Structure 1
Amino acid sequence: MKYNGIILIGLFILLLGISNLNAQTMGNRFGRQRNMAPAGPVQQQEPKALTAPEIVEQEMPKITEALNLNEFEQAVVSSILTKYVQQRIELQLLKLEPNKMRESIEKIQKNQEEELKAGLPEDKFLAFQELQKNRFQVKRKDKKKRKKKKNNKNNSDSEI
């Protein structure tokens, strides 16, 4: 009798344990689908720094469209810009004092302008300088849409 009582109590405890396990899975036979703990802050990946050729490659379509460059002029402008963008990136990495940084950037800008002036026709060089002042924002020509006039009189006369 003692033996049957121990077995009966053991089965009862086992049944209680199973019901607790079922409650932990929220009554779903597939278990907990989502973690109940709130998600912690996700570390955002820092944007990858672009290299000089990548930066120039992004800007070249705008420049080509605005200045109507042929393939040779495109190659000249691309190589010159890549060279001087690389120098600017190197300057930023050095983290010089503001005055020295400004002087160096002005020197780089002057050298870039001289090379571009030598490599491009004068009208395209001036257009490039204007484009630089506008920070490579291409102004698109607005096309005026003409409204068609309806000739109701002509249509009504032909129907009669």
Structure 2
Amino acid sequence: MKNILIFSRFNVLAVVMLLFAGNEIYGQYGYGGYGYGRGGYGYGRQRSGIPQAQETRKEETPKTAEEIVDAEMPSITEALQLNDFESAVLSSVLKKYVQERIEAQILKLPPEKMREVYENITKKQDEELRAGLPADKYEAFVELQKKGVAKALKEKKKQKKKRKKNKN
């Protein structure tokens, strides 16, 4: 009986040792019998038998004048504090003249001619805006064009913070 217990202890010990040694060998010397990076079990770059199709890049379609103006109008309206009528006037004028600028770009004129065309478009736009907007809003819009919309909005936020601090 003593022999059976020793023999069974030896079997248990042998099985446990084989399990640990098997895991160690498996971890060090290959993955699934195929070695490093080969076969379906290894780490490394996995390859597929199916060829991969090259994706063709979609050409970005240029934005239309309407899309450009519609994207900018909320920030312009906020910066200038325009009412609905003033916003509509400004939007329609900007759409018209942005479209003209896009058409001038398509023509690919020489630089001197392009500058002249842009100056004419800007003059007509200014005249139409001066007629359609109140004087203070027009001047604010001209100033906004010089500074940029983002900078004007930042300045407005700073002024609001200063007012709040002064009230407290």
Structure having greater relative contact order (Cα 8 Å, sep ≥ 6): 1
Residues 78-97 of structure 1: CA deviation (Å, up to 9, x unaligned): 00000000000000000001
- Number of residue pairs the alignment of both structures matches: 121
Q: Name the residue aligned to 2:69.
A: 56
Residues 46-87 of structure 1: CA deviation (Å, up to 9, x unaligned): 332000000000110111001111111111000000000000
User: Which amino acid is 1:97 matched to?
Assistant: P
Gaps of 5+ in 2: 1-33
RMSD: 3.1
Q: Name the residue aligned to 2:133.
A: 120
Higher helix fraction: Structure 1 or Structure 2? Answer: 2
Q: Name the residue aligned to 2:4.
A: none
Q: Name the residue aligned to 1:139.
A: 153
Gaps of 5+ in 1: 1-22, 147-160
* TM-score normalised over the length of structure 1: 0.65
Q: In the aligned structure 2, how far is the partner of 1:53 from the partner of 1:134?
A: 23
* TM-score normalised over the length of structure 2: 0.62
Residues 1:26 and 1:134: Cα distance change in structure 2 (over 3 Å):
same
In the TM superposition, structure 1's runs of 4+ consecutive aligned residues that sit over 4 Å from their partners are: 36-43
